[in-house]
Structure 1
Amino acid sequence: MRLAVGGFQHETNTFAAQPATLADFTAPDAWPGLTRGADLIDAVRGINLPAAGFIAEAFATGDTIAPLTWCSATPSGRVTRAAYEHIADLLLDDLRRERHLDAVYLDLHGAMVAEHVDDGDGELLRRVRALVGPDVPVVASLDFHANVSEQMLRQASALVAYRTYPHVDMTTTGARALRCLHLIRSRPPRRAMRQPPFLIPLTSQCTLIQPLASIFDDVVRRERGSVISLNFTPGFPAADVDDCGPAIFAYGSDATAVARQVEELTNDIAARETEFALEIHPIESALAELTRTPATRGRPIVLADTQDNPGGGGTASTTSLLKELVARRMRGVLAGIICDPRAADRAHEAGIGAAIEMEVGAFFGNTAGVAGETPIRGRCHVVALGDGKFTATGPFYLGSRMELGRMALLRIDDIHIAVASRKQQAADQAMFRHLGVEPQDFAVLVLKSSVHFRADFGPIARRVLVVAAPGPNIADPASLPFTKGRGAVRR
């Protein structure tokens, strides 16, 4: 087959203040910046991304790739109208120039919200469908946290979602999407979807622990016979849109079998709703746990600063948790990744070995920031410097060619703070090794992440404490001011 391949990814926290601008999609960070045409293939090659998996599988099966536009941006507030329309136009213009296509594949997130469009992914699929017509298969891969809408289901021939969180299966999901496309190319599949009437906190969605570990074993078991693709997306709960929340959807050749598997899986998940209860520690509680369970170097305790996780729309710059650790003169602490280009620049100007009075953190760009959050002020020792360019080695970011701008390792007493000029969640040990430190050598790790850190840091952690420090990525959906969808219904 001759297959068009493109992508447009954003996970939108509608309660976060910082919007996603065109510059955020253009600049590389953990993943490539906006790429068009033939450059797309090399840009994603070897990275744990769905597009990379789809392309590799297509080459293995003898298919031909017609590359379009691909881009992504770190989760944040809504995508600006200008950015959304510009990127959508690029992708559609690329698609319009292609001839004799057998199918279209899109690498999407599924929880993109623009300033003027609540269902950003559904609207993009609608425009693609209008361009290629009803007979050309359109298949998309979706993130685990997709908020799947009826429009997305209706406009796509098939949607295939990740099955792991941390997302270690992005490449294999792209390959699954290609295999699904081969199965449906000659005959449009039957489909069904159900949306359970509740929201699941982000930190309760980890597939390394229950209940999702066994639920996804069940998903794989049920995908058999005439049911060619069965998916469960727990949803991205920080989005005030009609379709925010979990979805179970499937495709196959037998409508009865497809509907039955969706219905049974939905009922099983609904029966386990109470198992998704949020487990999170206020700062005082987390530090008390550190006292009760003394941390030791070599098997660090991880404090997950989930509400400022940039992977969920956080700023990666709040300081309340770090300030408490500094005030208590905690020892053996490594924290990151703090987004503060001002601090990184000051460190580079001062040089390694310098000790300077400076401010760290509470960098919010042109937005109002997070109420009550102010920088850490004190005497910082510049321990190491980096250019922010390195290759990730952990299971989630595997192969990503990071470009985080100027980076620095700062020390206040025995607390080391890794600072970068671009925000990226701390989900890969290479982020710290770039600055010459080994995370396992510390007693406490403070990570700006919710769940993805578990893929690389979990094996070395003695214990994980999810901490409720200030930030825009509110952990408890029940505390968010929903006006739409399931969040509003259950208030």
Structure 2
Amino acid sequence: MTLRSLSSGPSQAKGLVSPDTQTSANVSRPVIAIAGLSCETSTFSPARTDAAAFHPRRGPEIIQEYPFLNQDTQLGRAASWQGALIGHALPGGIVTRRAFEELAGELLTRLTKIHAADPLDGLWFDIHGAMCVEGLEDVEAELLRRIRRITGSKAIVSTSMDLHGNVSPELAHQVDLITCFRTAPHEDETETKQRACRNLVDLLSSSSSTTNITPLRPLKAWCEIPILLPGEQTSTRADPAKSLYELLPVIEALPSVIDAAVWVGYAWADEPRNHAVVMVTGWDTQTLLEQTGRVARQFWDARERFHFAAPTGSLAQCLDAAIESQKRPFFISDSGDNPTAGGAGDVTWSLSRILARPEFQQKDGPTLIYASLPAHHAAESVARAGVGATVTVVAGAEVDHIHEGPITLTGLVHAVRHGDRDGLIECVLQIGSVFVILTKLRKPYHHESDFSELNLDARSADIVVVKIGYLEPELYKMAADWRLALTPGGVDQDLQRLGHRHIHRPMWPLDRNFSRHPDLKPRLIPASDHPFSE
């Protein structure tokens, strides 16, 4: 549709024209493209992420990925949704420059063809917000800058993000609408992405219902908070994060507000944009600045009350507690090498210490499941040997050998499974009373079925050690008790050990003595085609 100017006013803020009304009135549907690349990447991991890890989706595959955009839904009928390219990689090490340029190049080529066939009214920028690429900084802003060269400044961009992403001033400037998850663990991922699309459609629809149909560009208030915490200290299951995020729907309900969002930031990367941010989007300057400042102050004032989502300790302390406990299954998070936070996944430090303990060296000892250790050649060898065979393999430390070297494992093959989307090959090796899951490639173990498909009953195990931070919902419900082990790796929970050099300083909790109160004055970003201003 052709876009023209529309006088500003809060009446457009909530999308007063419904998609059904728009369709019945025979108004042309807006053309909206979908594009984005997502990978939460640790700059402290030696791993590298290549293009194949993104499992890219193209064209109609993207609509299939998001059922809320199907033509049998109200939102799907409200616009002509055009998939360019999206890619969602498992968190890991820095994305290679070659991989980024390959994927970004294809994304831009596809977007160019879509825009040439039917000029775009909008773009859903589907990203995580914590991707790092070799030789580039603030890469999501860089990608959007390239996209804007194709779509021009007229297309409205709505961005959805993980709350562990980072919003630099440049990214905040380039987007028109922005939102992020409000739960950690992320139980509202689909809801958040749907909200980003709904906000975009509402904005375009409210404009097309008038004779002057250029959509208003919302105002945006942005505030940096000098706090950088690991996600395991900011779970929304408990205060103060719970109360902080509960403010957002209250603010969003205000008549002049479109969306309110808080980013915790991503603690395991080292760029100036890595810190907490608050943004409120809408139509009234005073309201946006007041509400952004309100949330920023509450976040800062609560800084000393953020705590780990579970009792913590060394691995030895957590194992002692699990063995002494009568609660089963007892879960332990091997947090330093968590592959869903960016760890390489193949650090052998914890497994070597578990196998060295006498309690687990006999088959009748406490049953312990260890998930998992990616070991390319070892997994292939175990799979070839087959269930029932006794094998000896060398495993682990193929990528991250900084914290511990490879480990030699001799055990009975308990299970073999082929074809997993992430792990490709999965094997279980029984060593004493320990069942070690080996995979060809990294795989997160977040669901009960991840274990049952390997003939492992996690509910009946005495101890389950998982490379994870806070427990994902299914595991959380399954655990009779839980400890978070502070283990080494590329996503070490002890941020002081990592050695950040490029983040803004001072930064809580890396710095605890601030010479003066931080400047929490929100900045107003009038629109994506205006300069960033105070």
TM-score by shorter chain over 0.5: yes
Instruction: Tell me the secondary structure at the aligned position of residue 310 of structure 1.
Output: coil
Look up the equivalent residue of 1:282 and give its one-letter code: S
**Residue 173 (structure 1) aligned with residue 192 (structure 2):** yes
Q: 1:455 aligns with which of 461, 467, 473?
A: 473
Q: How does 1:76-225 map to 2 (within 5 A)?
A: 76-98=92-114, 99-185=118-204, 186-225=215-254
1:249/1:55 Cα in 2 relative to 1: closer, same or farther (>3 Å)? Answer: farther
Q: Distance in 1 between matches of 2:449 and 2:374?
A: 16
Look up the equivalent residue of 2:126 and give its one-letter code: D
User: What is the count of residue pairs matched by the alignment?
Assistant: 457
Tell whether the 8 Å contact from 2:370 to 2:437 is kept in structure 1 after alignment.
Answer: yes
Q: How does 1:83-482 map to 2 (within 5 A)?
A: 83-98=99-114, 99-185=118-204, 186-225=215-254, 226-278=256-308, 280-291=312-323, 293-296=324-327, 299-328=328-357, 329-330=359-360, 331-364=366-399, 369-389=400-420, 402-451=421-470, 453-482=471-500
CA-based RMSD of the aligned residues comes to 1.9
1:337/1:265 Cα in 2 relative to 1: closer, same or farther (>3 Å)? Answer: same
Instruction: Answer with 70-79 or 155-164: which moved more.
Output: 70-79
Q: 2:57 aligns with which of 22, 27, 35?
A: 35
Q: Considering only CA atoms, is the larger Rg found in Structure 1 or Structure 2?
A: 2
Deviation, structure 1 residue 403: 4.0
Instruction: Tell me the secondary structure at the aligned position of residue 245 of structure 2.
Output: helix
Deviation, structure 1 residue 385: 0.8
Look up the equivalent residue of 1:16 and give its one-letter code: S
Identity %: 25
Instruction: Tell me the secondary structure at the aligned position of residue 258 of structure 1.
Output: helix
In the superposition, the TM-score normalised over structure 2's length comes to 0.82
Deviation, structure 1 residue 61: 4.2
Tell whether the 8 Å contact from 2:50 to 2:95 is kept in structure 1 after alignment.
Answer: yes
Q: Distance in 2 between matches of 1:232 and 1:408?
A: 40
Tell whether the 8 Å contact from 2:394 to 2:408 is kept in structure 1 after alignment.
Answer: yes
Look up the equivalent residue of 2:486 and give its one-letter code: A
Look up the equivalent residue of 1:375 and give its one-letter code: P
**Residues 319-376 of structure 1 deviation map (CA, whole Å, 9 limit, x = unaligned):** 2222222222331111112211222111111111111222333332xxxx23241333
1:476/1:387 Cα in 2 relative to 1: closer, same or farther (>3 Å)? Answer: same
Q: Distance in 1 between matches of 2:75 and 2:251?
A: 29
In structure 1, list runs of 5 or more residues that go unmatched.
Answer: 26-32, 46-51, 390-401
1:198/1:59 Cα in 2 relative to 1: closer, same or farther (>3 Å)? Answer: closer
Q: Distance in 1 between matches of 2:76 and 2:177?
A: 21
Q: Distance in 2 between matches of 1:88 and 1:378?
A: 41
Instruction: Answer with 80-89 or 481-490: which moved more.
Output: 481-490
1:301/1:388 Cα in 2 relative to 1: closer, same or farther (>3 Å)? Answer: farther
Instruction: Tell me the secondary structure at the aligned position of residue 74 of structure 1.
Output: coil
Tell whether the 8 Å contact from 1:244 to 1:487 is kept in structure 2 after alignment.
Answer: no
Look up the equivalent residue of 1:457 and give its one-letter code: L
Instruction: Tell me the secondary structure at the aligned position of residue 92 of structure 1.
Output: helix
1:96/1:307 Cα in 2 relative to 1: closer, same or farther (>3 Å)? Answer: same
Q: Distance in 1 between matches of 2:240 and 2:467?
A: 24
In the superposition, the TM-score normalised over structure 1's length comes to 0.88
**Residue 20 (structure 1) aligned with residue 39 (structure 2):** no
Deviation, structure 1 residue 128: 1.4
Deviation, structure 1 residue 20: 1.5
**Residues 279-305 of structure 1 deviation map (CA, whole Å, 9 limit, x = unaligned):** 6311222223224x4255xx3111101
Instruction: Answer with 427-436 or 369-378: which moved more.
Output: 369-378
